[in-house]
Chains A and B, each alone.
Chain A
Amino acid sequence: MYLKNRLTNQNTECEILELSRGDLQKIKRDVEFGFDWSTEKWNDTYKLFALSDRDKILGLMSLIDRPDEFRIHLNLLEVTKSQQGDKKTLEGIAGCLIAFAASLAIKKGYGGFVSLEPKTQLIEHYQDKYGFRQYGRYLAIEGAFSISLIDKYLNDD
């Protein structure tokens, strides 16, 4: 998968891997991340990094598998501070992570169903940007929307 550099218009190849215990220790000291990720250690946690700099984590995500409801719940996602707002150079870090969650939900046979509990003020943006729709107090993406997200962010065929 690739992230587009907004300044050079070039693609940066990146990868998503599970977080190790060492990563959690490092993140705890990293000022680039504000959340306490050690509280997510019971969940499935992932990091996104560029292949050109494997030590620099660009984004983190915590997922909860809910096989009883055929879904994956996105519990927490955070992009590194230096890639937030109008100063960011790389496009699509959160998109790649959400698409990765959708791909896991496809592989598990959940039809790509990924849920999250949104801040009310952000609902519209999750809907517009990633294709989520409302399920009561939660938002979820599934089926064709998940597939198009995977094609947009992960497809490198």
Chain B
Amino acid sequence: MINKEEPTYDELRRKYTKEEIAESYVFRGSMSTAEKQEADEEFKRLRLEQLKSMSDDQVLQSELMRMKLLIKDYLDQSLFIEEFSFANQLKRYVSVAEKSMIEFSEDIGIHKTKLSRLVNNREKPNEELMYRLEHHSGGMIPATYWFRLFTRMQENAIKNNQEKRISEAKKVKNQLSFSSD
């Protein structure tokens, strides 16, 4: 068992500038219980005031960033999750942007029927749409994210479509074969 002598601000200050300390440490709280209780009450009041005063734009920006980070986490792993299909994320985007389907189809210059087909996964998105979505989000959600959501969904469909695999195999001649020796 090794007991460490924890560094204190005053000790560190002998070696480093304040800026250097701030770039290397956030110290544990050092308030007394009574001080902490008072500070916590004040903090809670200020925090709730700040929450109430958030503008619609601030909420939207934060929600879009949330959507982006969650998509990023999803893309960083290799599984397909239905919630993160292109169609479901497009539906989510429209909801986060607080637009009706008609308003949003007008925003991105496509017919409302096409948008409906896209969010219901009855039509595949094209590259142009992905650029438009990126621009609509003010660059917050890049076109490449939309593309990767789509390709992940496509990959999953190809992996699991046994019916098509069998029917297409029937159209192939001279299949390469390899001995197992």
Among B20-28, B85-93, B122-130, which stretch is in contact with chain A? B20-28
| B 70-89 binary contact with A (CB < 8 Å = 1; else 0) | 10010000000000000000
Quick check: B58 and A111 within 8 Å, CB to CB? yes
Q: Which B residues, 7 to 37, have Cβ-Cβ distances below 8 Å to chain A?
A: 7, 9, 13, 15-16, 18-31, 35
B18 / chain A contacts, CB cutoff of 8 Å: 121-122, 124-125
Quick check: B22 and A122 within 8 Å, CB to CB? yes
A interface, over-half SS: mixed
Quick check: A136 and B39 within 8 Å, CB to CB? yes
Known contacts A84-B20, A94-B24, A125-B19: A107-B66 contact under CB 8 Å: yes
- Size of the B side of the interface (Cβ < 8 Å), in residues, is 47
Interface size grouping (class) on chain A: 35 or more
CA distance in complex: A17, B26 (Å): 19
Quick check: A76 and B26 within 8 Å, CB to CB? yes
B5 / chain A contacts, CB cutoff of 8 Å: 34
Tell me, yes or no, whether B6 is within 8 Å of chain A by CB. yes
A122 / chain B contacts, CB cutoff of 8 Å: 9, 18, 21-22
Among A35, A117, A124, A143, the residue within 8 A (CB) of B29 is A117
Quick check: A112 and B23 within 8 Å, CB to CB? no
Known contacts A74-B26, A122-B21, A157-B144: A136-B46 contact under CB 8 Å: yes
Quick check: B46 and A34 within 8 Å, CB to CB? no
Known contacts A77-B26, A85-B20: A147-B47 contact under CB 8 Å: no
Q: Which 9 A-B pairs have the closest CB atoms?
A: A125-B22, A77-B26, A136-B42, A137-B39, A79-B24, A117-B29, A34-B7, A84-B24, A111-B62
Q: B: which residues have CB within 8 A of A?
A: 2-7, 9, 13, 15-16, 18-31, 35, 39, 42-44, 46-48, 50-51, 54, 58-59, 61-62, 65-66, 69-70, 73, 142, 144-145
Could you show 12 A-B contacts with beta carbons less than 8 Å apart? A36-B6, A69-B47, A76-B26, A94-B24, A103-B69, A111-B58, A117-B29, A117-B31, A122-B9, A125-B21, A137-B39, A157-B142
